[in-house]
Structure formats: C-alpha cells, structure tokens
Amino acid sequence: MSDFWPGLVTSAADESVLVLEKAADQDWNTGAADLDWTCRQTLDHLALGIVGYAGLLIARPADRYVTLFASLDEHAPIPACLEGIRIAASILASAVREATPEVQAWHPWGHSDGPGFAAMGIVELAVHTYDIARTFELGWRPPDTLCRAALERLFPDRPAGHSPADTLLWCTGREPLPGLGRRRQWQWDGTVR
C-alpha cells in the first residue's frame, strides 16, 4: 500500500495537535461545542476511536467491535494527552500501511478496508478538533486536503459545489450549507467501493 492514507492520518493528527496546543492552558472541563462531552472527554474519545479503528483493521472481526480500549490518563496534562493523540494516529497509520488491499473489517457504518479506516480516523480528528477549537475560539477549520480525501471515501452522497471543509462540516452535522440546513443525524458509508 502506498503511504497516501497513512500519511494523511499522521498529517491530520499533527494538524490537530498544532491547533489544540494553543488552548493547552484553558479549562478542558468546558463542554465541547454542541457535544455532550467536555473538551477533555472529546480528546479521550479521539484516542479511543483512532486506536479502535487500528484494532478493527488488525483483528478483522466480521460482526463486532474489538475489546481493546485505549484511553488517555485522566490526570495527565493536556500536552501529554495531545502526545497520546499523535501516538494513536501513528498506530492507525501503521495498521493501514500493513493492511493488504483485501483486508476488511466490520464497522457499524459499513465493513471497510485500510483506506476506509484511515478516512474514519481523519474525520474524527478533523471534526473533533473543530469542536474543541470552536469552544476555545481558535478560529480553525479543517484543511481542505484532509477533508477532500475523507469525503471522497466516506460520503458518496455529499453535495457538490462547496469547499471540502464546509462540506465535511455539513456532512457531520456541524454547520449548515447554503440551501441545506444543518444535519441533525448523520453517518458515513465505510463500505469498500
């Protein structure tokens, strides 16, 4: 497998950490944008999800999540937690890199392959970094290069004519698009196409 998808995963994590480091001294027990989690819980969700995607890709279950759960130390300072996000992304990137094209695993939103799980990790990093950045008023939006690849892989029914970042934020219920109200429910399609 080429390094395209693994490289995007680590780039997404690097971008996330670079942005979130700016708020390391803030109160991370504050609610994260419109989520039911605090910013700190959202960061833990990121670590759990990204390592979980790697676990699915490695174990290749046909009908369930894997039992590996990775979380951040609840007492660790935010900079150390951000290091954990980079580690989680590196684990996923390695799993994607090692997966041959025929490797697929279960996900409730479509059995997927290495690129699919990489795209899922990228979406998680992009949208949850956006959620936290909004909370701390950092004025950040996900880069179009990351959004474009994830949209093409996971959102085949995405609307055309908008920037990749705007489209991803609409697809994941974060923002409305002109002529399209904000989504209240959403999911991606991880099936291999």
Give the tens place of pLDDT for each residue, 56-97.
999 999 999 998 888 999 999 999 999 999 999 999 999 999
Highest CATH level, class, for 4-141: mainly alpha
Please tell me the distance from the alpha carbon of residue 114 to that of residue 95, in angstroms, as a whole number: 8
pTM score, whole prediction: 0.97
Is there a contact between 66 and 52 (Cβ–Cβ < 8 Å)? yes
Q: At what angle do helices 39-59 and 4-20 cross, to 10 degrees?
A: 170
Q: What are phi and psi of 38, to 5 degrees?
A: -80, 170
CA distances from residue 139 to 19, 130, 170 in whole angstroms, order as listed: 10, 9, 17
Q: What's the pLDDT tens digit per position in 18-62?
A: 999 999 999 999 999 999 999 999 999 999 999 999 999 999 999
